[in-house]
Structure 1
Amino acid sequence: MYTHIENQVKETQLKDMFYQSLFIHNPNASYLLDMNGNFVSFNEEVEVITGYSKSELLSMDFWPLFNDEDKPILLEKFTTTLAGQKNKFKTTLVQKTGTEIIISVTCVPVIIDGIVEGIVGIAEDITEEEQTKIRNEKELHLAQKLQLNVLPKPISNTSIEIDGVYIPCDELSGDMYYWQKLINERYAVVIFDVMGHGVSSSLIGMTICSMFRELITMKEDPVEIFTYLNEHIYDLFQSSNQPTTYVTGVLVIIDCQNNSIEYVNAGHVSPVLFSKSLSEPLPSLNLPLGLSNRATYEKKEMSYNKHSRLVLYTDGLVDSLECDPDKYIAELATTMQDHEHLSNEHFIKYLKNKKDKIPEIDKVDDICLVSITIKK
């Protein structure tokens, strides 16, 4: 009997030592408050994080450590914790020197025999982490503005109208489009979809778009342009020992004088050409860019009637509508027919509004959409 009691005492002592060690030796600031918010006990990290001495802390409550504007939310957290609720939140702590730091606070009620007797909490200095987060957000915002500035302005004249919609699922997108007027009433329009999304994909997309802008001034053959881009993308990842990526894309050259279109589709979802109640997809004939440095590219030529409309898009639009590409092509062709009376500007607004009705939870990929109305 004596041994059993002795073991229980030792077990209780071990538990007390365990909790005391967890409190005293915690790498973050650990503290115990009474029902009035006065400091009862704390570890050395509380002195470090606040700048106050032990004697100073034991003679004060926690309110002087915070700005007036933060006190309403702190009062709410303090009150709900005393009511038995656990809380975790971020706030700004004012050190004795006046320096402000950002802390993450976790506080729980101290319950003894079913009655709340105080609050035990842990505070972690996350100032550096939060400042880094703010810097990253600013840099992402700047990168997003730069990416938007790369996109071309709409074209509208007596021959053609071209406009686009760019919708990243993150701050940045790997989907890009670009168009440019060439000589003799010819227009080049390209759309790219880089594997993945986010920062790395956006950098690749902007690089490709920048290269295309230079290439289209020197070469007008879509096969030559895509062959060059393919070799460059392949060499880029082979030389840097990075995992292979690939890029799908469509390059369309529209000749408004001869009513003709030539295009190269490199593994991309099929654009749709609608003309005089007939729709025709522009299917892929080639491998995506960047998969093989031996890939060859084939172009296709086709004619069109006056007052035609051509729509290019990325697979994020298909994925967001939860349908397979063939079904979406048929649906898009029907939409183009039903709304052929709309101007190019209003047609692309209609498609964008239709996309905007998709719940946010379903928007898991970047989306680019380009509409081209050919008037003659």
Structure 2
Amino acid sequence: MLKNIKEMVENFSPSTLYSSKLEEMSRLTELYQLYIVDTEQEEEFDHITTLIRDVFTVPVVLISLITEDRQWIKSCVGINIKEIMRDDSICQHVIADKKAIIIENMENDTRFKNHPIAIEHNIYFYVSVPLTTSKGNIIGTLCIGDHKPKSFTNHQLQLLESFSGLVVQEIEKRYALLVEAKWKDKLLQENRRYLSLVNNLQDVVIQTDEQGNISFLAPAWEDLMGYTVEETLNQSFLNFVSTANRDHFSKLFSNLVERKADNFKQVVQYITKSGKKKWLRLVFSFIYDKNKEFLGTIGTLSDLTDLVELENERQKDRDLAKKVQLSVTSNPIHHPSFKIDCEYHSSLDLSGDMYYWVQIDEGKYGVILVDVMGHGIASSLVSMSIRSLLHGLFKKVQDPVLIYKELNRHIHTLLNSPDGIISYFTAMIIYIDTNNKRVEFVNAGHPKGLMQVDDTLPHIMDKGSLPIGLMEHPPIEKGIICYPEDATILIYTDGLGDIIGDDVNQKLLLCLKEYKKTTKTLSRYVLDSVELPDKLPDDLCVISIELN
């Protein structure tokens, strides 16, 4: 139930800032209609705040919504805060002035010099931009902060405003899904009784005694297995399990009984009367007396044969797709003035990480490392779609900015659907001219690479833009690094950061310092210095480039 918005606005305190009463009532009405205030933490918003933190290299990021009396925090990193009273909020100035506020040093700003956020949270740099909905209402703010003063350029402001549009898009998409879920739930309630009946008829109800002998069977057993109920009763249910599964299943079942488990779920291969193999899902509840003595089981058998066989066929398809995906990756190049190697590991059968390089001309090379959102089949298909463009694109367009624009156009034209599903990927796009000893790059929301020139401190490869596919025309900044003699470049996907943690670049700096040019490649040396888990949390790719 919506609050009495008009009464709220009429009762504002004199210290509450707003543009006009009419605009305040409009924005509060929409804010509460979106059903987002005082909701739980959500991964989608946390992903955006983390991305903003990495792009702007700041410790503090906030997504906040401004109610009639609070600045309520939907997502934040770097600060432990849930809400701020509106009258004490810096962001209420954004609501009132309808534009961003930039404070490069709070100590030099008389309005906020003694503000609680500076004193209590040690924040001296603070930028806040409005969250403006498609209806034109400012419902909140997107803020970044740092514990030290710093400058903020117009280019950075454009980037932050682009991110605020992404936050609003996520809020409005969330509301659309809530409305859709409400209608779906209504339909499900009307059909629940019918669906429950159908689902029960597909299963076989079974009961056994303490010895595992079948004491009750539903008639559906006869259609499933070919045996009559009469000839099956009083037999051990293990008699119908395939020989290959029987010993393992028997031991597992016995161990659960000894541990006084409550239930048992397992997919087991059964043999029908005609000798056909069927995969059944067993869901058993264990029955005990008041002294915890085992009396038997009751449960259901569900035929999963078609699903198991379909999954086996899909696995064959995934194996073939994996071979195809690996077949189009680039081989190492070892030229006198250019050497490139890669170490690549996928977390699943199919990966969203993709790398490619090509010699464009004598002494000129193009390199790209891509990390598509998500994992598995969907992300691998997107990466293969990108891969199909790269050879001709690098040959034709020898500029990382133009390559970014063409890939962005490709994603928006072919992959982003009208129903709001967005495909995007991060990328490091590099053009290397060894004749003129010049490296040009665009970092598209990717982890920051390192380039060490001679023995100087490494350059951070952070100039660029947003991930490709997030928006149609983002601002782009190209990085240029020249090297007089030798240079080494290290780039990687965020799977490496997931394993090493926040100090990933410090680890890579140490590898650059300690690496000796032996038979081992630099990319291999980096991975050998990291303890990889048995199961990777994300796809992992490390590329090393040596320029001599």
Normalization by structure 2: what TM-score? Answer: 0.57
> Residue type matched to 1:133 in 2?
E
Unaligned runs of 5+ residues in structure 1 are 1-21
Partner SS, residue 351 of structure 1: helix
Contact preservation (8 Å) 1:269, 1:284: no
Contact preservation (8 Å) 2:400, 2:429: yes
Partner SS, residue 171 of structure 1: coil
What is the CA–CA distance in structure 2 between the aligned matches of 1:129 and 1:103, rounded to whole Å? 10
Contact preservation (8 Å) 1:246, 1:288: yes
Q: What is the aligned partner in structure 1 of residue 459 from structure 2?
A: 280
- Deviation of residue 153 (structure 1)? 0.6
- Deviation of residue 172 (structure 1)? 2.3
What is the CA–CA distance in structure 1 between the aligned matches of 2:222 and 2:486, rounded to whole Å? 76
Q: Cα 1:241–1:235, aligned 2, differ >3 Å: closer, same or farther?
A: farther
Partner SS, residue 69 of structure 1: helix
Contact preservation (8 Å) 2:463, 2:477: no
Q: Cα 1:296–1:247, aligned 2, differ >3 Å: closer, same or farther?
A: same
Contact preservation (8 Å) 2:238, 2:250: no
What is the CA–CA distance in structure 2 between the aligned matches of 1:35 and 1:288, rounded to whole Å? 60
Q: What is the aligned partner in structure 2 of residue 320 from structure 1?
A: 499
Q: Cα 1:242–1:149, aligned 2, differ >3 Å: closer, same or farther?
A: farther
Q: What is the aligned partner in structure 1 of residue 305 from structure 2?
A: 127
Contact preservation (8 Å) 1:106, 1:123: yes
Partner SS, residue 305 of structure 1: coil
Q: Map 1:216-231; keep pairs closer than 5 Å.
A: 216-231=394-409
- Deviation of residue 187 (structure 1)? 1.2
Contact preservation (8 Å) 2:454, 2:483: no
What is the CA–CA distance in structure 2 between the aligned matches of 1:265 and 1:116, rounded to whole Å? 63
Q: Deviations over 1:7-61 (max 9, x none)?
A: xxxxxxxxxxxxxxx9xx7752223334554433222122222211233223744
What is the CA–CA distance in structure 2 between the aligned matches of 1:153 and 1:45, rounded to whole Å? 57
Supply the RMSD in Å over aligned alpha carbons. Answer: 2.8
Contact preservation (8 Å) 2:268, 2:281: yes
- Deviation of residue 179 (structure 1)? 0.4
What is the CA–CA distance in structure 2 between the aligned matches of 1:42 and 1:127, rounded to whole Å? 20
1:29 paired to 2:204: yes
Q: Cα 1:272–1:42, aligned 2, differ >3 Å: closer, same or farther?
A: same
What is the CA–CA distance in structure 2 between the aligned matches of 1:250 and 1:77, rounded to whole Å? 50
Q: What is the aligned partner in structure 2 of residue 305 from structure 1?
A: 484
- Deviation of residue 360 (structure 1)? 5.0
1:368 paired to 2:545: no
- Deviation of residue 155 (structure 1)? 0.8
Q: What is the aligned partner in structure 2 of residue 186 from structure 1?
A: 364
> Residue type matched to 2:491 in 1?
L
- Deviation of residue 269 (structure 1)? 2.5
Q: What is the aligned partner in structure 1 of residue 32 from structure 2?
A: none
What is the CA–CA distance in structure 2 between the aligned matches of 1:150 and 1:106, rounded to whole Å? 44
Contact preservation (8 Å) 1:344, 1:372: no
Pick the aligned partner of 2:527 from 349, 352, 357.
352
Partner SS, residue 513 of structure 2: helix
Q: Map 1:46-57; keep pairs closer than 5 Å.
A: 46-57=221-232
Q: What is the aligned partner in structure 1 of residue 427 from structure 2?
A: 249
Q: Cα 1:67–1:171, aligned 2, differ >3 Å: closer, same or farther?
A: closer
Q: Cα 1:116–1:244, aligned 2, differ >3 Å: closer, same or farther?
A: closer
Pick the aligned partner of 2:317 from 133, 139, 143.
139
- Deviation of residue 99 (structure 1)? 1.3
Contact preservation (8 Å) 1:34, 1:117: yes
Q: Cα 1:48–1:157, aligned 2, differ >3 Å: closer, same or farther?
A: same
Partner SS, residue 251 of structure 1: strand
Q: What is the aligned partner in structure 2 of residue 105 from structure 1?
A: 282
Contact preservation (8 Å) 2:463, 2:478: no
1:95 paired to 2:272: yes
Q: What is the aligned partner in structure 1 of residue 513 from structure 2?
A: 337
Q: What is the aligned partner in structure 2 of residue 8 from structure 1?
A: none
Q: Deviations over 1:190-211 (max 9, x none)?
A: 1122233332222222211221
Partner SS, residue 170 of structure 1: coil
Partner SS, residue 291 of structure 1: coil
What is the CA–CA distance in structure 2 between the aligned matches of 1:44 and 1:301, rounded to whole Å? 75
Q: Cα 1:58–1:228, aligned 2, differ >3 Å: closer, same or farther?
A: closer
What is the CA–CA distance in structure 2 between the aligned matches of 1:345 and 1:173, rounded to whole Å? 25
Q: What is the aligned partner in structure 1 of residue 344 from structure 2?
A: 166
1:65 paired to 2:240: yes
Q: Deviations over 1:134-177 (max 9, x none)?
A: 22222222222222222101111222211112222232222211
- Name the structure, 1 or 2, with higher relative contact order (CA <8 Å, separation 6+): 1
Contact preservation (8 Å) 2:205, 2:218: yes
> Residue type matched to 1:349 in 2?
R
> Residue type matched to 1:336 in 2?
L
Q: Deviations over 1:100-124 (max 9, x none)?
A: 1011223455445645454434322
Contact preservation (8 Å) 1:165, 1:369: yes
What is the CA–CA distance in structure 2 between the aligned matches of 1:239 and 1:27, rounded to whole Å? 37
Greater CA drift, 117-126 or 39-48: 117-126
Contact preservation (8 Å) 1:33, 1:120: yes
Q: Deviations over 1:226-277 (max 9, x none)?
A: 2211222222345554423332222212222222222222232222111322
Contact preservation (8 Å) 2:445, 2:464: yes
1:235 paired to 2:408: no
Contact preservation (8 Å) 1:81, 1:108: no
> Residue type matched to 1:76 in 2?
K
Partner SS, residue 182 of structure 1: strand
Greater CA drift, 165-174 or 82-91: 82-91
Identity %: 28
Q: Cα 1:232–1:54, aligned 2, differ >3 Å: closer, same or farther?
A: closer
Q: What is the aligned partner in structure 2 of residue 268 from structure 1?
A: 446
Partner SS, residue 527 of structure 2: helix
Query: Aligned residues, how many?
Result: 346
- Deviation of residue 283 (structure 1)? 1.8
What is the CA–CA distance in structure 2 between the aligned matches of 1:77 and 1:300, rounded to whole Å? 60
Q: Cα 1:35–1:374, aligned 2, differ >3 Å: closer, same or farther?
A: same
Unaligned runs of 5+ residues in structure 2 are 1-196
What is the CA–CA distance in structure 2 between the aligned matches of 1:288 and 1:139, rounded to whole Å? 30
Q: What is the aligned partner in structure 2 of residue 195 from structure 1?
A: 373
Q: What is the aligned partner in structure 2 of residue 18 from structure 1?
A: none
> Residue type matched to 1:32 in 2?
Q
